[in-house]
Amino acid sequence: MHLPRPVVLAILIPFALYSTYAVAQIGYFGIFASHAHIAGMQVLVDLVIACTLAMVWMWRDAQSTGRTVWPYLLATFALGSVGPLLYLLLARQQQTANTRAAA
């Protein structure tokens, strides 16, 4: 899956800014504490499932394209959707670098 860079940036930048604001307001662990009720926990579980699926996809895509996946997996663990968004954003740059190195 390769989205156009402007689309990825249009998602990543506002989301990263909003996430930074949220962490500044309530702290990193405060985000998890805010999901203490049943509806919030459902959202958190849904996010974990979605991020896990994204990590599986990144892992398989990285194996087939020769990309390094570890930084994006770690970013996903620490920052949620930021990891897969960065993976998509930097896909073509890293593939071009890998192609040049192989030549």
Let me know: does 101 contact 67? Beta carbons within 8 Å: no
Whether the predicted pLDDT of 30 surpasses 90: no
For 40-83, write each residue's pLDDT tens digit: 888 889 999 999 999 999 999 999 999 999 999 999 999 999 99
pTM above the 0.75 mark?
yes
Higher-confidence residue: 61 or 92? 61
Q: Where in the sequence is the domain holding 65, given as residue range(s)? A: 5-102
Q: What is the pLDDT of residue 46?
A: 93
What is the rounded CA–CA span in Å between residue 33 and residue 40? 9
Q: In whole numbers, what is the pLDDT of the chain averaged over residues?
A: 88
Q: What is the pLDDT of residue 29?
A: 86
Query: How many residues does this entry show for the chain?
Result: 103
Count of domains forming the chain: 1
